[in-house]
Structure 1
Amino acid sequence: MPEPNDLLRAAREHTPSRRAPGEHMSRGELADAICAWLWDTTEIKYELDGHYIAKLERGAVRWPGAAYRSGLRHVLDVAADNELGFFPPSGGSALEPDLAPPSMIGHDDDLIVAGDESIALLSFAEQSNVGELTVEQLQADIERITQSYLRTPTRQLFATSRAIRDRAFGLLAGNQSPRQSRDLYSAAGWAITLLAWMSVDLGRPDIAESHTRTAWACAEAADHDVLRGWIRATQHTAAFWQDDFARAAEYAQDGLRYAAGTARLFLASAASVDLARIGRTDKARELLEVAQTLNVRRAGTEPGGLFVCTPERAGGLWADTYLAFGEAQLTAEHADHSVALFEAAPYALRNVGSERMARLQQAKARLILGELDGALEAVEPVLDTQPEYRVRPLIQRLAEVAALTAPYGRSAKTRMLRDRVVEFTQRPELPARPTANGFAAMEAPRIYSVRRTREDQA
Structure 2
Amino acid sequence: PMAPGPSRTVLHALLVERAMTYSLFEREYARVSALLYEETGDRVFRNATLAEPTLRRWTSGGLRRLPAHPAPAVLERMFGLPVIQLLASPEPDKVHQAAAPALTESDIEMTAREAAGHASEAAASTLPEMTIDQVEDDIRHLAAGYGALALPDAYQQARLLLEVSQRHLDRTRSPRQQARLYLLAGEAAALCGAACFDLFLLRSAAQFARTAFLYGQTIEFGPLQAYAYGVLAYISYWQDRPAEAVRHAQAAAQAQGVGTVGRRRIAVIAGRAWGHLGDAASARAAMTHAERLTDPSARDDLHDIGGEFGMSVERMLMSNASTSLLLNDASAAAANAQAALDSYGALPSDQRPAMSIAQAHADLAHARLLLGEMDGVAEALDAVLSLPAAWRGTGIVQRVNSIRQRLLVPALGQAQPLRDYGDAIEDWTARAPGQPQATHLGLPQQES
TM-score band by shorter chain is 0.5 to 0.7
* Paired residue secondary structure (1:295): coil
Counterparts of 1:118-133 in structure 2, within 5 Å, are 132-133=127-128
Instruction: Quote the residue 1:364 is aligned against.
Output: 366
1:206 aligns with 2:203: yes
User: 2: CA distance between counterparts of 1:320 and 1:158?
Assistant: 25
User: 1: CA distance between counterparts of 2:189 and 2:209?
Assistant: 7
Q: 2:391 aligns with which of 378, 386, 389?
A: 389
Instruction: Quote the residue 1:307 is aligned against.
Output: 309
User: 2: CA distance between counterparts of 1:296 and 1:204?
Assistant: 35
Instruction: Quote the residue 2:272 is aligned against.
Output: 273
**Among the aligned pairs, what percent are the same residue?**
25
* Paired residue secondary structure (2:269): helix
Q: Which one-letter code corresponds to 2:183 in the other structure?
A: S
Instruction: Quote the residue 1:194 is aligned against.
Output: 191
* Paired residue secondary structure (1:223): coil
Q: Which one-letter code corresponds to 2:421 in the other structure?
A: L
* Paired residue secondary structure (1:357): helix
Q: 2:226 aligns with which of 222, 226, 229?
A: 229
User: 2: CA distance between counterparts of 1:321 and 1:162?
Assistant: 31
Change (3 A) 1:409 1:188: closer
1:426 aligns with 2:421: no
* Paired residue secondary structure (2:428): helix
User: 2: CA distance between counterparts of 1:264 and 1:351?
Assistant: 22
Q: Does the 8 Å CA contact 1:366/1:374 hold for their aligned counterparts?
A: yes
Q: Which one-letter code corresponds to 1:317 in the other structure?
A: S
Q: Which one-letter code corresponds to 2:363 in the other structure?
A: Q
Change (3 A) 1:245 1:296: farther
Instruction: Quote the residue 1:354 is aligned against.
Output: 356
May I ask how many residue pairs the two structures share in their alignment?
Answer: 307
Q: Which one-letter code corresponds to 2:397 in the other structure?
A: I
User: 2: CA distance between counterparts of 1:349 and 1:151?
Assistant: 8
Counterparts of 1:30-49 in structure 2, within 5 Å, are none
Q: Does the 8 Å CA contact 1:131/1:171 hold for their aligned counterparts?
A: no
5+ long unaligned stretches in structure 2: 1-124, 443-448
Moved more, 155-164 or 373-382: 155-164
Instruction: Quote the residue 1:64 is aligned against.
Output: none
Q: CA deviation at 1:300?
A: 4.4
Q: Which one-letter code corresponds to 1:175 in the other structure?
A: T
- Which whole-Å deviations, capped at 9, do the CAs of 1:60-81 have from their partners, x for residues lacking one? xxxxxxxxxxxxxxxxxxxxxx
- Which whole-Å deviations, capped at 9, do the CAs of 1:41-92 have from their partners, x for residues lacking one? xxxxxxxxxxxxxxxxxxxxxxxxxxxxxxxxxxxxxxxxxxxxxxxxxxxx
* Root mean square deviation, CA, Å: 2.3
User: 2: CA distance between counterparts of 1:334 and 1:242?
Assistant: 25
Moved more, 283-292 or 408-417: 408-417
Q: 1:410 aligns with which of 403, 408, 414?
A: 414
Change (3 A) 1:253 1:354: farther
* Paired residue secondary structure (1:306): helix
Q: Does the 8 Å CA contact 1:146/1:303 hold for their aligned counterparts?
A: yes
User: 2: CA distance between counterparts of 1:167 and 1:361?
Assistant: 38
Instruction: Quote the residue 1:289 is aligned against.
Output: 288
Q: CA deviation at 1:387?
A: 1.4
Q: Which one-letter code corresponds to 1:348 in the other structure?
A: D
Q: CA deviation at 1:409?
A: 4.0
Normalized against structure 2, the TM-score is what?
Answer: 0.64
* Paired residue secondary structure (1:404): helix
1:161 aligns with 2:163: no
Instruction: Quote the residue 1:238 is aligned against.
Output: 235
* Paired residue secondary structure (1:140): helix
Moved more, 194-203 or 396-405: 396-405
- Which whole-Å deviations, capped at 9, do the CAs of 1:172-221 have from their partners, x for residues lacking one? 12333222111000000000011111111111112211112221111112
1:142 aligns with 2:144: no
Change (3 A) 1:317 1:197: same
User: 1: CA distance between counterparts of 2:341 and 2:310?
Assistant: 17
User: 2: CA distance between counterparts of 1:288 and 1:173?
Assistant: 43
User: 1: CA distance between counterparts of 2:438 and 2:287?
Assistant: 42
Instruction: Quote the residue 1:121 is aligned against.
Output: none
Instruction: Quote the residue 1:219 is aligned against.
Output: 216
Normalized against structure 1, the TM-score is what?
Answer: 0.63
Q: Which one-letter code corresponds to 1:209 in the other structure?
A: A
Q: Larger radius of gyration, structure 1 or 2?
A: 2
Instruction: Quote the residue 1:42 is aligned against.
Output: none
Instruction: Quote the residue 1:329 is aligned against.
Output: 331
Change (3 A) 1:243 1:145: same
User: 2: CA distance between counterparts of 1:131 and 1:327?
Assistant: 57
* Paired residue secondary structure (1:271): helix
Q: Does the 8 Å CA contact 2:354/2:391 hold for their aligned counterparts?
A: no
* Paired residue secondary structure (2:308): coil
User: 2: CA distance between counterparts of 1:222 and 1:339?
Assistant: 38
